[in-house]
Amino acid sequence: MNKPDRRTIQLSLQDHQTDIAPLHMRHLFETDKQRFENMHETLHGLLLDYSKNRITEETLNLLCDLAEAAGVAQQAQAMRSGVKINLSENRAVLHTALRLPADAEPVYVDGENVLPKIHHELERALNFADNLINGHYQGATGKRITDFVHIGIGGSDLGPQVAVQALQPFQQNIRVHFVSNSDDAAIAQTLAGLNAETTIFCVASKSFRTPETLLNARAARHWFLAQGMPESAVGHHFIAISSSVETACDFGIGEENVFAMFEWVGGRYSVWSAIGLPVMVAIGGANFRQFLNGAHAMDEHFFHTDFRHNIPVLLALLGVWYGNFFGAQGHAVVPYSHNLRRFPSYLKQLDMESNGKYRTLQGDEVDYHTGGIVFGEAGVDCQHAFFQLLHQGTRLIPVDFIIPMSSPYAVGDQHRFTVANAFAQTEALMRGKTLAEARSELSYLPEAEQEVLAPHKTFPGNRPCNSILLDELNPFNLGMLAAMYEHKVFVQGVIWDINSFDQWGVEYGKVLAKTIEPELAQRQPLHHDSSTNGLIDYYYRCTQPLTGQKNPS
Ligand code: F6P
């Protein structure tokens, strides 16, 4: 029998949604005591519980059929084998190759096996990091390096920044700082506490053309020289990570200190490459290899597990279920871990820059929703901020709870308290609280007051969430976690028939900024809309108050 096509499955899912919509998850749990058993998956130190979702086995079967009809398996195979699936940039997409062992099957791009190059660059970066840690690489004046300042933005910043923060307990002896924002507060505050003789600056930019990064790099070099360091020391204290080695050398960085990135790895997928250097410096080479191993373990799981038990595929399908069939517009990601507090920022770029697209691969406008709004911050902080809306607001916002099962800090019972709160939130979102339950909680009050208060204390519940438990927040598990989300995003992109690997949408504003910057520097006729003209004018009057007459339009 022929398999149904994508359109037919979508229609079946629509019909199925009308059956599921009135069902409450409370009921699903009450009628199936095995629900957790049947709806959780484990992989090494990671457990995904997706039983608190508005789904049945039939939902899962239909969603898996959708993934099959969309060609997820074929596209995954194309990606891992080096096919140029990033059509608008004519590039292969090979972040998974970055975490392959050196003796893995070759992966070819334009007829060349990329694995030797990958491992050559990896070894160079790991050696450099270890030499900083053990003091073999010293400053130009012979002092031990104590600080490493990573200057990059977007994908050249977020992945490493999150990993360094998340793996704080694995920190070695070098302090790692990150500067990304062009707002000069960032670079000024970072430089304030540093000694030029003992600091390495790492300029990380795939293109080596990103103005924010180059501005900060120039500011760092200016500061370095102003501290009395000679020009000849720049090449020793400044290193670069880029796919444009020549441009990095033009900046004054010695070729031996430029670590190569590859064209076929997108910025937001690049933490596994030399862009991970700050992570290597922070936690050491051996730990970084574990980070790669964790990602590779997730790749193996993703490439070889049937959809029904495939962790990234399940997460992707649940996102499609709510986004395309329930009208959900957003998705919250809440790590119950202070050290993972920046993880939502990394995910925002990974997910929204990848799947914020309105054209199909063929260039047609889509007539369905693609990527949603990803947001979040660390629990329990966010319980005291935006959780009210998750529980009693009018919108459906699925949540991913990421919860480490242990803490290396052992401060009283704080970790247990934190985990209890996370589990309680998953339960509260799922169960809700009925009017009768609210009334009975208020039974100590006069009946009239119960009547008034009880409606405010009811919760609709039936709000979906996934729980992603990590037995420990270590390099291996962090690698699995990040790779899990990479594959989730990929699967959704395939289902939506979009290119998850370009980012033309961020270019336009950058181009316009190039016109506005000189207009802010010097008065000249303005040709924008009246709002933009007005804003430029106001800036001019604030910064040049004495001569602040209006711009000549
Ligand atoms: O602004 C978007 C972007 O192009 C991201 O995709 C990228 O990660 C970031 O800028 C930085 O780019 P680069 O590494 O080339 O400096």
Structure-token pair, residue 551? 């711009």
pLDDT tens sequence across 176-204: 999 999 999 999 999 998 999 999 999 99
Residue of 3, 33, 384, 514 marked catalytic: 384
pLDDT tens sequence across 38-79: 999 999 999 999 999 999 999 999 999 999 999 999 999 999
Is 384 an active-site residue?
A: yes
pLDDT tens sequence across 106-123: 999 999 999 999 999 999
What pLDDT does 546 receive? 64
pLDDT band, very low/low/confident/very high, at 252 (cuts 50, 70, 90): confident
pLDDT tens sequence across 422-471: 999 999 999 999 999 999 999 999 999 999 999 999 999 999 999 999 99
* Chain-centroid distance, C-alpha 302: 18
Residue of 27, 510, 527, 550 marked catalytic: 510
Atom of ligand 1 nearest to the CA of 268: 8
CA of 474 relative to ligand 1 center, distance in Å: 27
Atom of ligand 1 nearest to the CA of 212: 16
What pLDDT does 148 receive? 98
Cα-flanking dihedrals φ and ψ of residue 401, to 5°? -95, 125
What pLDDT does 3 receive? 81
Is 112 an active-site residue?
A: no
What pLDDT does 4 receive? 84
129, pLDDT greater than 60: yes
Residues 6+ apart with CB under 8 A from 230: 140
Q: Is the dihedral of CA 178, 182, 183, 185 positive or negative?
A: positive
CA of 156 relative to ligand 1 center, distance in Å: 7
Report how far residue 295's alpha carbon sits from residue 96's, in angstroms, rounded to the nearest whole number.
8
Is 24 an active-site residue?
A: no
What pLDDT does 545 receive? 67
pLDDT band, very low/low/confident/very high, at 507 (cuts 50, 70, 90): confident
Q: What is the mean pLDDT of the chain?
A: 96
Q: Is the dihedral of CA 236, 241, 246, 250 positive or negative?
A: negative
What pLDDT does 449 receive? 96
What pLDDT does 509 receive? 87
pLDDT tens sequence across 380-405: 999 999 999 999 999 999 999 999 99
Report how far residue 484's alpha carbon sits from residue 488's, in angstroms, rounded to the nearest whole number.
6
As for ligand 1, residues whose beta carbon falls within 6 Å of it are 153-156, 205-207, 210, 213, 267-268, 353, 503, 506
Q: Specify the DSSP class assigned to residue 3.
A: P
What pLDDT does 552 receive? 57
Query: Torsion angle, CA of 240/246/247/250, rounded to 10 degrees?
Result: 90
Q: For the stretch 183-201, what's the b/e string if a residue is b when 16 or more beta carbons lie within 10 angstroms of its beta carbon?
A: eeebbeebbeebebbbbbb
User: Would you list the DSSP string of 244-263?
Assistant: -HHHHHHTT--GGGEEE--T
User: Would you list the DSSP string of 506-526?
Assistant: GHHHHHHHHHHHHHHHS----
The structural domains of the chain, ordered by start, are 6-70+305-431+464-502 (3.40.50.10490), 95-288 (3.40.50.10490), 506-543 (1.10.1390)
- What is the mean predicted confidence (pLDDT) over 15-35? 98
- DSSP element (H, E) containing 202: strand 199-204
Peptide bond into 380 cis (omega under 30): yes
1-8 — which CB contacts under 8 Å span 24+ positions?
A: 3/65, 3/68, 3/69, 4/65, 4/69, 5/69, 6/66, 6/69, 6/70
What pLDDT does 2 receive? 76
Residue of 93, 153, 161 best suited for mutating to test ligand 1, as the one with most atoms within 8 Å of CB: 153
Report how far residue 59's alpha carbon sits from residue 36's, in angstroms, rounded to the nearest whole number.
16
For a pLDDT cut of 90, what percent of the chain falls above it?
94
What pLDDT does 167 receive? 98
- What is the maximum span of the chain, computed from C-alpha positions, in angstroms? 83
Residue of 197, 212, 353, 486 marked catalytic: 353
